[in-house]
Structure 1
Amino acid sequence: MADINKTRVSNLGANNRSPVFDDVEQGKAPSVNFFVNQRPYNMAYYLADGIYPSYPTFVKSIRLPQSEPDKLFAKFQEGCRKDIERAFGVLQARFKIIREPARLWDIADLGIIMRSCIILHNMIVEDERDSYSQRWTDFEQSGESGSSAPQPYSTEVLPAFANHVRARSEFRDPNVHQELQADLVKHIWTKFGMFRD
């Protein structure tokens, strides 16, 4: 999945009160353009677990995978989703406000709180970075980082009502969900399948 822009990869967890979920459902999500297996896609997607609907914006794992490509996809999807959950756990450990119940908060306020905590966390990490910057430099020079150049993407917000209706319809299309998942399975198998034991 390294070729696919990681800024699009996020986890919504089990909370449908997520501002991201609301923005996507209302057609306010960023517009992105990317290719998987030479097929174009124009909708950001989020790694999700099985409780989410089969919408193109939610890439879920494959329940009881049978084929080797499906098993490898499930391993990558679940691993990436767990990394994101761990990152959220770091924020919860650092900021008490994130651990507290949020049902009574306004969605816009929750978004501001989360962004503020992420910014504060990044400021703290940057401040502490001097203590381990040499180890990171050594790691990057060894060529083990595995990072790839980020792919360009557009963040244009859909302005007109007609676009809103179209986006909402596309957002709920289970066929596009299955096409994207199948393309991701093929992509991961092509990229990483030959290195399996």
Structure 2
Amino acid sequence: MNRELFLKIVRDMENDNDYFRTRFDARHKTSFSSLQKCTSAIRQLGYGNVPDSLDEYLNMSDRTSRESLQEFCEGVIRLYGKEYLRRPTAHDVTILYNHHATRHGFPGMLGSVDCTHWAWRNCPMAWRGQFMRGDHNCPTLILEAATSQDTWFWHAYFGMSGSNNDLNVLNQLPLFNNLSNGTAPIVPFTINGNEYKYGYYLVDGIYPRWSVFVKTIPHATGDKRKRFSGAQEAARKDVERAFGILKSRWGIVRLPARAWEENKIRKVMYACIILHNMILKDDGLALCPDYVPDPPAVVQDLEDVRMEIRDSGVHENLQMDLVDYIEQAYIPRLDD
């Protein structure tokens, strides 16, 4: 984050929240400035510093550092969440279609969906059972994201849960709630002469056979199916890299979560994603930097929309059309 962007955030925080404004106590002694409080919050997010480690640098107590982080994350979500954590509009979807068709060879692709685990150090003892899994030795929170490229999180949404069933987390994501509620933009695309109503995401074997998901073919036989499986698995690495980039840039996500409340942890995660998107837009790396709102949508029957999304027949037809398409398409990651 360059200096100009950081100072802009500091000014916005100061104008939006009284907590970041300079105040005076009964002795006419000034409080910490907005620059000190925002610096404390950024250092905790970026380096994973514990609050009391900033005592000598900022002369700030442990309690004030924790309060600064909480107020900063809430302010970032309130001020920038609408733009930098928005769901894809019809304009964004068109850009994503073109980008993924060129980059991965998949027309109509919106991105990839996957999850990672964030260790929860201060999980309450009474909750440990529901936040434990057999493949992890400590309580964890599932962070599930729908993202579209390995170097940006422009359209990422995170659900948090301790359930072993990733589908429970999936149903909490705003992205798929919009699909189920009929509020997602409808941008059809065509493959091999067949038109499909909704864009799709690449997923692994745990997800259901819905029309908005494209899964790989396990134990593929034949050159055509093997090529499709290789292309699908190579494209899905984007979301894995995205998790790695998020954890490498924001140390607080890489280390075990220290908060006691799940809601505070969620706000920290959203703040990291929003700040990451702001940095990418400031550097000119955002794929969809301009927000173009959707026109008023026609009200759809919700039951019909849910049946269309959960149609396994469409999933099979889409997968077979992609198998035929990928056989003839040029894919940089496989053909170069």
Normalising TM by the smaller chain, what interval? 0.5 to 0.7
Is 1:57 aligned to 2:212, yes or no?
yes
Is 1:75 aligned to 2:238, yes or no?
no
Q: 1:149 maps to which residue?
A: none
Q: CA deviation at 1:12?
A: 4.0
Q: CA deviation at 1:84?
A: 2.0
- Is this contact kept in 1: 2:188–2:197, CA < 8 A? yes
Q: 2:189 maps to which residue?
A: 34
Question: 1:40, 1:50 → 2: CA distance?
Answer: 25
- Is this contact kept in 2: 1:29–1:157, CA < 8 A? no
Relative contact order, higher structure (CA 8 A, sep 6+) = 1
Matched residue type, 1:26: N
- Is this contact kept in 2: 1:61–1:74, CA < 8 A? yes
Q: CA deviation at 1:72?
A: 0.8
Matched residues, number: 167
Question: 2:182, 2:266 → 1: CA distance?
Answer: 19
Matched residue type, 2:303: V
Q: 1:174 aligns with which of 312, 316, 331?
A: 312
Cα distance change of structure 1 residues 128 and 41 upon mapping to structure 2, 3 Å threshold: closer
Q: CA deviation at 1:71?
A: 0.7
Question: 1:80, 1:187 → 2: CA distance?
Answer: 15
Q: 1:86 maps to which residue?
A: 241
Q: CA deviation at 1:188?
A: 0.7
Matched residue type, 1:63: P
Moved over 6 A (4+): none
TM-score by length of 1: 0.67
State the percentage of identical aligned residues: 35
Q: 2:163 maps to which residue?
A: none
Q: CA deviation at 1:38?
A: 1.6
Paired residue secondary structure (2:205): coil
Give CA-to-partner distance per residue, 1:5-62, whole Å, 9 cap, x none.
55x1232435424332333333333311111112111112111110000001111111
Q: CA deviation at 1:83?
A: 1.5
1:23-172 map, 5 Å? 23-95=178-250, 96=252, 100=257, 104-105=262-263, 114=270, 116-125=271-280, 160=299, 162-172=300-310
- Is this contact kept in 2: 1:69–1:186, CA < 8 A? yes
Paired residue secondary structure (1:9): strand
Cα distance change of structure 1 residues 23 and 65 upon mapping to structure 2, 3 Å threshold: same
Paired residue secondary structure (1:175): helix
Q: CA deviation at 1:87?
A: 1.4
Cα distance change of structure 1 residues 22 and 80 upon mapping to structure 2, 3 Å threshold: same
Q: CA deviation at 1:184?
A: 0.9
Q: CA deviation at 1:126?
A: 5.3
